[in-house]
Amino acid sequence: MQKSEELIGKKVLVTAGATYEPIDPVRFIGNRSSGKTGAALAEEFYLRGAEVYLIYGNIHVPLPTYSGIKKIYTPTAQQMFDVCVKLFTDVDMAVLAAAVADYTPIQFSTVKIKKEDGEMTLHLKKTPDILKTLGEQKKQNQILAGFALETNCLIENAQKKLTSKNADVIFANICSEENPAFHVDENEIVALFKNNQMKKLGKNKKYILAEKMVDELVMLLHDKI
């Protein structure tokens, strides 16, 4: 089922899910992202005719089954970074919906770390920032979209992210008791654009919000052409 042809000839990269940063063979640093939004976005882009690369980490939803969506599994931030940087030069748009871990252990223990008495210290280093790096590499005709999930000062932080990462749009979703955002079907999203325009996409099922986000991104892409 193809819904439209509006993105025929366009290539889109979507990231989805959580990266898991390994501590030892059985433990990792991760987060609660399910990958639902990223998977829905990839499917929606595909149904509108785009050639889609879905770069996914650890997800808790079925992957889109369309064989036309190229799926690449990147369990860690570094692996996701390497694939995204390589593919970015070849795409018209990148939508980074993955919840990438901000920190990763400096050392990976090849054997399971034994429990000992007292406290334990884990030394962490920052992961590479995919959104920021793609923002630095972005060409004039490319669109870059990121996400912001905050528990407070959402709009202010999303606006800062828009500028500091050189994105064209940031989709901001608040994480609160009423809108937990992770592992649920619904979400509430506000889109913030480069020209300071702000658009409420409302509270809805994640797949409906994916349609609305793709509508906005199609308009941005057409503006650039």
Q: How far apart are CA 37 and CA 22, in angstroms?
A: 24
Determine the Cα–Cα distance for residues 199 and 217; give it in Å rounded to an integer. 13
Which DSSP helix (H) or strand (E) runs through 93? strand 93-96
Per DSSP bridges, beta strands 198-205 and 11-16 are: unpaired
Q: Which stretch binds ligand C5P (CB under 6 A): 3-11, 93-101, 177-185, 203-211?
A: 93-101
54, 130, 162, 172: residue in contact with ligand C5P (rule CB under 6 A): 130
Smallest gap, in angstroms, from Cβ of residue 6 to ligand C5P?
24
Greatest distance between any 2 Cα atoms in the chain: 62
Residue 53: C-alpha distances to residues 43, 81, 90, 94, 201 (Å): 10, 14, 11, 9, 25
Q: Spell out the residues 6+ positions from residue 76 whose beta carbon is closer than 8 angstroms to its own.
A: 19, 20, 21, 22, 57, 104
Q: Give the binding-site size for ligand C5P (rule: CB under 6 A).
A: 14
Catalytic residue among 31, 166, 179, 204: 31
Least distance between ligand C5P and beta carbon 117 (Å): 35
Judged by CB under 6 A, the chain residues 4 through 23 that form the site for ligand C5P are: 15
Which residues, numbered 60-79, are part of the site for ligand C5P (CB under 6 A)?
77
31 as an active site residue: the answer is yes
Q: Report if residue 39 touches ligand C5P, rule: CB under 6 A.
A: no
Is the CB of 158 or the CB of 218 nearer to ligand C5P? 158
Is 129 a binder of ligand C5P (CB under 6 A)?
yes
Neighbour-count burial of 174, counting CB atoms closer than 10 A to its CB (0-12 exposed, 13-18 middle, 19+ buried): buried
Work out which of 69, 100, 154, 210 binds ligand C5P, going by CB under 6 A.
100
Interacting residue ranges for ligand C5P, rule: CB under 6 A = 15, 77, 96, 98, 100, 102, 127, 129-131, 146-148, 161
Catalytic residues: 31
